[in-house]
């Protein structure tokens, strides 16, 4: 089985993670623009960060045979610094149309302040102007009402539910999200958000339509293999393979594939220029043999490396 | 024809109607557009035009070399071509061009960086971009490095000796071929020969292979101890390494080099009969 991790902050992860993810069958990932664990104070550090998402980090992923996509936006935490937020909003349009940018994200509410609301709306307007999808971060605190508010504001701004991914759902929010026609993503964290046992029950109850999972792994305690591990657990607990495939691969591709920037052929049958540019070379694997085209078949790898 | 006219013609001949129309409309609109419009249009190229190979014919490659000596866009893709086209058509000249190019590079993705660096030999006011080229050499992204180093006449024309030497050494360090570097033989220099010899010794000490292409830039300055190194390669090396050592010795001004080479009549004859070449060694390695 192949996997996509549609929300993972690789800038905070090591090459060991990339190796294990590739070995576990992760073929593509999406890195949402987020904060760095502490607030940025200059627009320059924002520019360099966003450039690394479309530059170095994409190259780094490719060295391990993983296709890297990203979402671009001003996160809700840093939206609270209004002087900075204004400058960031000014530069965002220069990134939105880059290759491999699949959505405006991750945006939404954190403390649910008026300033967060202002910049959430401003970025929904940008998504409309550029015809883009939206990836919404829902708050950790006062989650249910924050999630509902995110959706209501999106609809009020005239953004279609099918072009919005609502992330970090749980048992309390999933029904509201699906009933309104939005995509419902679940973050599988070892300690908080969703554990993978709970995810099995959600799959049992809600099926696989418009639902997918991610790791949101970053610099905190998190697991970059959350998607393949949860897939294994779902299979072991009797969830049908086609539903597991949809939740761990197909639906993320369907949702973000609407951008036209993420296609299955990118990893199944890449353009010659990508084969030259992205799937060869080894500047990360200094002194080791490059991985180029020599990875064992996915099924075999995922069984050997992750699940034994 | 100018390079800009050639880019225009090649794109027109290849782009499907909708992509071609987009490019034409955009180029026109940009004549009175803002910086913001310009940056967004450059990024939009990969979405509108795609990334297929440009795939120039031998006749078209000859046109390129006639329009701009040394220009060799055989590896270019369509999006790369269209980006350089828009940049040349709309970038302005002198300081305005540099300002826009700096802005573009600051927020560029990989494909854009490859385009901007491979376009270096076509930009107005050539000496102005030497720092940009040196910056490209410092990249950690191989495709971007190759855009500066391979089939690009700009570095040999404009880079001072130190950054030039860095570029050649780094190509070996990251495992890419030297042969596609334009001006490699013309820009050989004693300091580079010394640096490369040190690098070979470092590799030998670590038990790692040394690219046979390394000796190409050593040969013209090989005397004394360097000849001893080449003798060692001749004696113990693999076939491509021995061929490389023979070619390097043949290019050395030191009479002792000739003597060394004569000790291996088969290689000596192969060199004088042009049976071995640096290109063949590069392709073999």
Assess contact for B129 and B158: CB atoms under 8 A: yes
For the purposes of burial, counting CB atoms within 10 Å of the CB of B260, is it exposed (0-12), middle (13-18) or buried (19 or more)? buried
Residues 6+ apart with CB under 8 A from B87: B42, B100, B101, B104, B115, B116, B119, B123
Where is average pLDDT lowest: A41-50, A254-263, B265-274? Answer: B265-274
How many whole angstroms separate alpha carbon A102 and alpha carbon A96? 8
Confidence of residue B110 (pLDDT cuts 50, 70, 90): very high
For the purposes of burial, counting CB atoms within 10 Å of the CB of B25, is it exposed (0-12), middle (13-18) or buried (19 or more)? exposed
- DSSP one-letter code for A211: E
As a whole number, mean pLDDT of residues A148-172 equals: 97
Is the pLDDT at A103 greater than 70, yes or no? yes
Assess contact for A257 and A12: CB atoms under 8 A: no
Phi-psi region of B271 (alpha: psi -120 to 50; beta: other; left: phi over 0): alpha
Whether A126 and chain B come into contact, CB under 8 Å, resolves to: no
Q: Give me the pLDDT at residue A190, please.
A: 76
Q: CB A94 to CB B36 under 8 A?
A: yes
Confidence of residue A63 (pLDDT cuts 50, 70, 90): confident
How many whole angstroms separate alpha carbon A158 and alpha carbon A153? 9
How many whole angstroms separate alpha carbon A272 and alpha carbon A270? 6
Which residues of chain B have a CB within 8 Å of the CB of A280?
142
N-to-C CA span, chain B: 38
Q: Give me the pLDDT at residue B209, please.
A: 93
Q: Which two tokens stand for residue B51?
A: 């990334």
Chain B stretch 253-272, residues whose beta carbon is closer than 8 A to a beta carbon of chain A: none
Q: CB B40 to CB A93 under 8 A?
A: yes
pLDDT averaged over chain B? 95
pLDDT tens-digit series, residues B203-225:
999 999 999 999 999 999 999 99
Q: Give me the pLDDT at residue A242, please.
A: 96
- B85-115 per-residue burial string, b: 16 or more CB within 10 A, e: under 16: bbbbbbbeeeeebbebbeebbebbbbbbbbb
Nearest of B179, B184, B87 to residue B129 by alpha carbon: B87
Nearest of A205, A206, A209 to residue A246 by alpha carbon: A209
Whether B142 and chain A come into contact, CB under 8 Å, resolves to: yes
Q: Which of A42, A91, A97 to probe by mutation at the B interface, max B CB count within 10 Å?
A: A97
Confidence of residue A49 (pLDDT cuts 50, 70, 90): very high
pLDDT tens-digit series, residues A225-243:
999 999 999 999 999 999 9
Can you spell out the DSSP letters for chain B?
A: --HHHHHHHHHHHHS-HHHHHHHHHHHHHHTT--HHHHHHHHHHHHHHH---B----HHHHHHHHHHSTT---TT-BHHHHHHHHHHHHHS-SHHHHHHHHHHHHHT--HHHHHHHHHTGGGSSSGGGGHHHHHHHHT-S-HHHHHHHHSS-SHHHHH--HHHHHHHHHHHHHTT--STTSTTTTTT--HHHHHHHHHHHHHHHHTT----GGGGGTTGGG--THHHHHHHHHHHHS-HHHHHHHHHHHHH-S-HHHHHHHHTSHHHHHHHHTT---HHHHHHH-
Assess contact for A85 and A119: CB atoms under 8 A: yes
Q: CB A283 to CB B141 under 8 A?
A: yes
Return the residue of B nearest to A278 by Cα.
B143
pLDDT averaged over chain A? 89
Assess contact for A166 and A150: CB atoms under 8 A: yes
- DSSP one-letter code for A67: E
Nearest to A59 among B112, B141, B208 (CB): B141
CA distances from B132 to A51, B118, B128, B139, B155 (A): 17, 12, 8, 11, 10
Is the pLDDT at A288 greater than 60, yes or no? no
Q: Collapse the DSSP code of A246 into the 3-class scheme (helix H, G, I; strand E, B; otherwise coil) and give the result.
A: helix
Neighbours of A80 (CB within 10 A): 17
- Measured between CA atoms, how close is A132 to chain B, in angstroms? 13
Pairing of strands A183-187, A164-167: parallel
CA angle (A202, A2, A49) in 5-degree steps: 85
Q: CB A58 to CB B107 under 8 A?
A: no
CB-defined contacts A:B, below 8 A: 85
Whether B157 and chain A come into contact, CB under 8 Å, resolves to: no
Whole-number percent of chain B with pLDDT over 70: 100
Assess contact for A135 and A165: CB atoms under 8 A: yes
Chain B stretch 27-66, residues whose beta carbon is closer than 8 A to a beta carbon of chain A: 36, 39-40, 43-44, 46-47, 51-53
As a whole number, mean pLDDT of residues B225-231 equals: 95
Nearest of A69, A59, A58 to residue A29 by alpha carbon: A69
Assess contact for B234 and B245: CB atoms under 8 A: yes
Nearest of A161, A152, A108 to residue A133 by alpha carbon: A161
pLDDT tens-digit series, residues A122-155:
999 999 999 999 999 999 999 999 999 999 999 9
Q: Which of A98, A272, A291 to probe by mutation at the B interface, max B CB count within 10 Å?
A: A98
Q: Give me the pLDDT at residue B218, please.
A: 97
Which residues of chain A have a CB within 8 Å of the CB of B113?
55
Where is average pLDDT lowest: A149-153, A163-167, B261-265? Answer: B261-265
pLDDT tens-digit series, residues B132-147:
999 999 999 999 999 9
By residue count, chain B amounts to 285
As a whole number, mean pLDDT of residues A92-97 equals: 98
Q: CB A54 to CB B142 under 8 A?
A: no
C-alpha dihedral (A176, A178, A183, A186), degrees to nearest 10? 70
Q: Give me the pLDDT at residue A191, please.
A: 63
Is the pLDDT at A214 greater than 50, yes or no? yes
**ipTM score assigned to the predicted complex:** 0.89
Q: Give me the pLDDT at residue A282, please.
A: 37
Q: Which two tokens stand for residue B82?
A: 């269209």
Is the pLDDT at A294 greater than 50, yes or no? no
Whether A272 and chain B come into contact, CB under 8 Å, resolves to: yes
How many whole angstroms separate alpha carbon A187 and alpha carbon B19? 39
- Measured between CA atoms, how close is B115 to chain A, in angstroms? 12
Q: Which two tokens stand for residue A139?
A: 């708050």
Q: CB B51 to CB A274 under 8 A?
A: yes
Q: CB B110 to CB A50 under 8 A?
A: no
Whether B158 and chain A come into contact, CB under 8 Å, resolves to: no
Neighbours of A264 (CB within 10 A): 16
Q: Give me the pLDDT at residue B246, please.
A: 96
């Amino acid at each position: 089985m192949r996997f996509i991790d549609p929300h993972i902050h690789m800038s905070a992860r090591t090459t060991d993670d990339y190796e294990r993810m590739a070995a576990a069958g992760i073929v593509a990932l999406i890195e949402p623009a987020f904060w760095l664990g502490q607030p940025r104070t200059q627009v320059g550090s924002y520019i360099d960060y966003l450039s690394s998402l479309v530059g170095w980090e994409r190259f780094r992923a490719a060295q391990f045979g993983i296709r890297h996509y990203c979402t671009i936006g001003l996160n809700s935490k840093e939206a609270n610094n209004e002087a900075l937020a204004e400058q960031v909003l000014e530069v965002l349009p220069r990134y939105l149309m880059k290759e491999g940018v699949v959505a405006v994200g991750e945006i939404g509410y954190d403390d649910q302040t008026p300033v967060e609301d202002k910049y959430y709306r401003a970025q929904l307007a940008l998504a409309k102007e550029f015809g883009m999808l939206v990836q919404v971060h829902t708050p950790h605190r006062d989650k249910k009402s924050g999630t509902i508010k995110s959706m209501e504001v999106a609809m009020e701004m005239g953004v279609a539910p099918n072009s919005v991914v609502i992330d970090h759902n749980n048992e309390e929010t999933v029904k509201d999200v699906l009933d309104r026609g939005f995509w419902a993503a679940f973050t599988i964290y070892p300690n908080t958000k969703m554990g993978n046992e709970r995810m099995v029950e959600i799959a049992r109850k809600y099926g696989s339509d418009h639902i997918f999972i991610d790791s949101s792994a970053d610099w905190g305690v998190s697991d970059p293999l959350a998607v393949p591990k949860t897939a294994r657990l779902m299979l072991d607990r009797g969830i049908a393979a086609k539903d597991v495939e949809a939740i761990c691969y197909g639906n993320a591709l369907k949702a973000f594939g609407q951008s036209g920037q993420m296609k299955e052929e990118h990893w199944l049958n890449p353009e010659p220029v990508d084969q030259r540019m992205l799937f060869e070379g080894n500047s990360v694997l200094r002194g080791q043999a490059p991985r180029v085209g020599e990875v064992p078949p996915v099924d075999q790898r995922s069984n050997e490396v992750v699940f034994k | 024809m100018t390079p800009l006219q050639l880019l225009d013609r090649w794109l027109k001949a290849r782009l499907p109607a909708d992509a071609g129309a987009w490019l034409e409309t955009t180029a026109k609109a940009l004549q009175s557009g803002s910086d913001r419009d310009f940056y967004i249009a450059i990024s939009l190229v990969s979405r509108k035009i795609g990334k297929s190979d440009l795939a120039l014919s031998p006749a078209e490659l000859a046109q390129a070399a006639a329009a701009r000596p040394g220009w060799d866009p055989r590896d270019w893709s369509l999006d790369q071509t269209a980006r350089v086209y828009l940049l040349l058509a709309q970038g302005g000249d002198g300081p305005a061009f540099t300002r826009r190019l700096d802005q573009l590079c600051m927020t560029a993705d990989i494909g854009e960086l490859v385009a901007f660096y491979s376009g270096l030999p076509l930009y107005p006011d050539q000496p102005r971009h030497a720092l940009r080229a040196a910056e490209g050499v410092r990249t950690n992204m191989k495709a971007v490095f190759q855009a500066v180093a391979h089939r690009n006449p700009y570095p040999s024309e404009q880079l001072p000796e130190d950054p030039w030497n860095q570029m050649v050494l780094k190509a070996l360090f990251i495992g890419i071929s030297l042969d596609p570097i334009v001006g490699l033989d013309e820009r050989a220099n004693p300091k580079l020969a010394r640096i490369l010899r040190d690098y070979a010794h470092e590799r030998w000490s670590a038990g790692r292979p040394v690219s046979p292409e390394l000796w190409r830039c050593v040969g013209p300055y090989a005397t004394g101890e360097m000849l001893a190194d080449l003798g060692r390669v001749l004696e113990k090396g693999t076939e491509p390494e021995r061929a490389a050592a023979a070619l390097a010795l043949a290019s050395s001004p030191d009479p002792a080099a000739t003597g060394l080479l004569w000790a291996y009549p088969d290689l000596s004859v192969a060199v004088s009969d042009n049976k071995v070449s640096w290109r063949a060694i590069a392709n073999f390695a």
